[in-house]
Amino acid sequence: MLLYLGLVFWIRKPVNIREIEVPLPRGPLILAQILIPSIDWILAGSVAFMLLPHGPEVSFHHFLSIYLLSTMAGVISQVPGGLGVFESLMLIFLTPAVSASSVMGGLLAFRLIYYFSPLALAVVLLMCHEILQRKLHTKKVIQVPLQWFSSFVPEILSAIVFLCGCLLLLSGSTPGLGDRMGFLANTLPLTVIEFSHFFGSLVGFGMLILSWGLFHRIDASYPITITLFLLGIVFSLLKGFDYEEALILGFFLMLLLPSKSLFYRKGSLVTGRFTLSWLISLFLALAAFIWLGLFSYKHVEYSHDLWWQFTFDGDAPRFMRAAVGVVGATFGLALFTLIRPKPPRFLPPDRLTLDSLVPIIESSHRTQANLALMGDKSILLNDSKTAFLMFGIEERSWVSMGDPTGTAGEIRELAWEFREMCDYYNGYPVFYQVIPENLHLYLDLGLTVFKLGEEARVRLPQFSLDGSSRKEFRHTLSRLDREGCTFEIIPRESIHARIEDLRLVSDSWLKTKATREKKFSLAFFSEDYLAHFPVAVVRKGEEILAFANLLEGGGREELSVDLMRYRPGSPNGIMEFLFLQIILWGKDSGYQWFNMGMAPLSGLEARPLAPLWNRIGAFLFRHGDQFYNFEGLRNYKNKFAPEWSPRYLACPGGGLVVPRILANLASLISGSVTGVVLK
């Protein structure tokens, strides 16, 4: 120090080291350089003096000299913080007068208090400073991990809330600590303690219920959970001064507070369907609550008077009343679940919405878009009203019928909007019978793709009845022609005038087949629906024997049929005659393709290394004739020499989700769950 002062006062000019000029301090700055570090060392030594055992013979000045010598040795050693060097010298100077273990305990506490705690605080402050200085850059850096973490944070918070509910329940089933209950008895009225214990258990039960809502990201569950956490903290303190429990609840409340944006789904806590796994977890938590209470108070002899016993030391009666409250709330929830009204289904489109779809459908090259006019599916329109997606809902499965209709860019935006809407309402996004050209889009949506079968399309310009392979077709046409059957196209303007004749054919067909109308992907008889299309009929005289409505694609790209019915007792081959006449008419009218529809499970591979779904589907295709004539349907369509194109199902994969979606899809097409097993 003296050498430093001598140099500063002796050398008056700045010191030049190569190109660097170092001005020397003067007056007040020199004084500050001496006083501030000296005070800092004395304060640090005072902290060590308070923490370390030193014996009565060691005064503060003596201890401070030991501390300074040990610290300077650590600085000279160049070890960060003098770690090891400082401790060794302190042990040498303070032992054997004091035990080494006592000295090491104090040194550890000194390191934590004087080094590591300020270091941790400094790191946090430095991080905050850097983040504030680089807001935009920091936002870009943390955006990706935040998006990734947000995908499973609600599940973690749901589990935490469930465990906190269990904590409150189990706390309510055990006796309070004697000294704490004595403190509360001298501080609070008995009514407050009884009230807090009873409703604290109900708050725990409420947290168990709300954990389901948080897991499914229902927005209403968030503010209620926050309220229950606050009530849980208050009741924990008032029922038994369980400050440890209150601190745990407060800590997890802090974790929950900044997570509001993760709970965005518009839903109801009272209309959702509880899963079996969650119900089992709820049952186990309640069973543990009851069992622990019975175990804790097994020494208390049961008496009817216990129910009405209100005393500061009456833990057993308090548990009994809380258990009745929780069990009553459980039965109330179960009863409400059983008698609650079924949640409303999606609303079918009105006439104005259907009319707005007609220009979009007429511009689409694919005839599948016409299924939107059935009116049994909800419609998702884009903002410019130039593209749409039709879908139906069965339980949690939101099923889009085919690809969205529109341009490539509009299809992509609608698919993403549908995906986000399903996520918003906690539904499974499902795209049924989609074409290969759009598979990349559904993979981008995070969906799994399954092959459903193949669609048959006849190239009309090359279709001909010539050749030996078409001899059967020529025979069918000539035979029914000789029997007086004629082909006719009824324009859409005349449908209403002939609707009763068509209805008679449809009703007789349904009665003979002993079946019911299908929906969603298959047309059903409806005057409003048929009025949108021309109808091809086969007549014999004035009597209509068979009919099929014609679906026309934009630009005469594709022609297809939808609702097909024939009168029982009609000549054999009546539907083949109708098909051939429609194909020939479409060829003469300039259409490029005739869509014959899909052959389910066609084209699936049965190889050992093929996916399990493909192997199951291939087995059903070959051996499932008792359920559906899969192979026969493909063989019949093959007679028309079509070009086969695969069709796919895009939906969430994994676990039991796919079988559930397939069951919902079958129910949606059949019109009900019973329609799946009944005709």
Encode pLDDT of 450-463 as tens digits: 888 899 999 999 99
Cβ count within 10 A of residue 192: 14
Largest alpha-carbon pair distance within the chain? Answer: 132
Average pLDDT score over residue span 104-124: 87
Any idea of the CA torsion for 104, 109, 111, 113, to the nearest 10 degrees?
Answer: -170
Residue 345 is encoded by which pair of tokens?
Answer: 């289904």
Q: How far apart are CA 534 and CA 375, in angstroms?
A: 18
Is 635 exposed, middle or buried, given 0-12, 13-18 or 19+ CB atoms closer than 10 A?
Answer: exposed
Q: Which of 136-145, 177-186, 662-671 is the least confident region?
A: 136-145
Tell me what pLDDT residue 18 has.
Answer: 80
Report CA 194 to chain centroid distance, whole Å: 41
- Phi, psi dihedral angles at 452 (to 5 degrees): -95, -30
Q: How far apart are CA 36 and CA 32, in angstroms?
A: 6
Is 318 exposed, middle or buried, given 0-12, 13-18 or 19+ CB atoms closer than 10 A?
Answer: buried
Phi-psi region of 176 (alpha: psi -120 to 50; beta: other; left: phi over 0): beta
Would the pLDDT of 347 be above 60?
yes
Closest CA to 486 of 535, 549, 537: 537
Residue 60 is encoded by which pair of tokens?
Answer: 């503060």
Would the pLDDT of 402 be above 70?
yes
Would the pLDDT of 655 be above 60?
yes
Report CA 275 to chain centroid distance, whole Å: 14
Residues paired with 388 in a beta bridge:
381, 405
User: Per-residue pLDDT tens for 524-582?
Assistant: 898 989 999 999 999 998 899 999 999 999 889 999 998 999 999 899 999 999 999 99
Q: How far apart are CA 302 and CA 323, in angstroms?
A: 15
Tell me what pLDDT residue 537 has.
Answer: 95
Tell me what pLDDT residue 677 has.
Answer: 45
User: Per-residue pLDDT tens for 155-185?
Assistant: 888 999 999 999 998 888 888 777 788 777 7
Tell me what pLDDT residue 336 has.
Answer: 72
Cβ count within 10 A of residue 605: 13
Tell me what pLDDT residue 624 has.
Answer: 54
SS3 state of residue 274? coil
Q: Are 406 and 387 in contact (CB under 8 A)?
A: yes
Q: What letters, b where the CB count within 10 A reaches 16 and e where it falls short, cover 355-389?
A: eebeebbebbebbbbbbbbbebbbbbbbeeeebbb
More confident residue, 267 or 343: 267
Q: How far apart are CA 517 and CA 528, in angstroms?
A: 16
Average pLDDT score over residue span 47-53: 86
> Is the bond preceding 349 in cis, omega lying within 30 degrees of 0?
no
Q: How far apart are CA 355 and CA 362, in angstroms?
A: 12
Q: Are strands 543-552 and 448-459 parallel, antiparallel or unpaired?
A: unpaired
Q: Which of 59-63, 181-185, 213-217, 242-246 is the least confident region?
A: 181-185
Query: Which residues have C-beta within 8 Å of that of residue 403, sequence separation ≥ 6?
Result: 411, 415, 431, 434, 435, 438
Q: State if pTM tops 0.75.
A: no
Residue 139 pLDDT level (bands cut at 50, 70, 90): low
Query: For 404, which DSSP code?
Result: P
| Angle ∠(213,218,219) on CA atoms, nearest 5 | 125
Average of per-residue pLDDT values in the chain: 85
Would the pLDDT of 271 be above 80?
no
Helix segments in 216-314, DSSP class H: 221-240, 243-256, 276-296
Query: For 592, which DSSP code?
Result: S
Place of tokens 């960060």: 80
Average pLDDT score over residue span 659-667: 85
List the strands of the sheet with 448-459, edge to edge: 378-381, 388-394, 397-401, 428-434, 643-651, 448-459, 593-600, 558-566, 543-552, 535-540, 485-490
Range among 3-12, 339-348, 493-502 with highest mean pLDDT value: 493-502
More confident residue, 623 or 618: 618
Residues paired with 544 in a beta bridge:
539
SS3 state of residue 490? strand
Phi-psi region of 223 (alpha: psi -120 to 50; beta: other; left: phi over 0): alpha
| pLDDT over 70 percentage in the chain | 91
Cβ count within 10 A of residue 344: 7
Would the pLDDT of 285 be above 70?
yes
Closest CA to 614 of 449, 455, 470: 449
* Alpha-carbon separation of residue 88 from 41, 73, 91, 111 (angstroms): 19, 10, 5, 14
Residue 124 is encoded by which pair of tokens?
Answer: 């946090």
What end-to-end distance do the CA atoms of the chain give, in Å?
A: 103
Average pLDDT score over residue span 99-109: 85
Residue 626 is encoded by which pair of tokens?
Answer: 């008792």
Phi-psi region of 426 (alpha: psi -120 to 50; beta: other; left: phi over 0): left
Closest CA to 532 of 492, 490, 501, 563: 492
Tell me what pLDDT residue 342 has.
Answer: 53
Range among 116-120, 338-342, 367-371, 513-517 with highest mean pLDDT value: 367-371
| Angle ∠(424,427,430) on CA atoms, nearest 5 | 120
Helix segments in 241-275, DSSP class H: 243-256
Report CA 200 to chain centroid distance, whole Å: 31
Q: How far apart are CA 436 and CA 280, in angstroms?
A: 42
Average pLDDT score over residue span 189-203: 88
Closest CA to 345 of 407, 425, 435: 425
Q: Which of 209-218, 309-318, 419-428, 594-603 is the least confident region?
A: 309-318
Average pLDDT score over residue span 494-516: 88
Helix segments in 514-573, DSSP class H: 527-530
Q: Are strands 397-401 and 428-434 parallel, antiparallel or unpaired?
A: parallel
Q: How far apart are CA 402 and CA 653, in angstroms?
A: 18
Would the pLDDT of 241 be above 60?
yes
Would the pLDDT of 429 be above 90?
yes
Average pLDDT score over residue span 304-321: 78
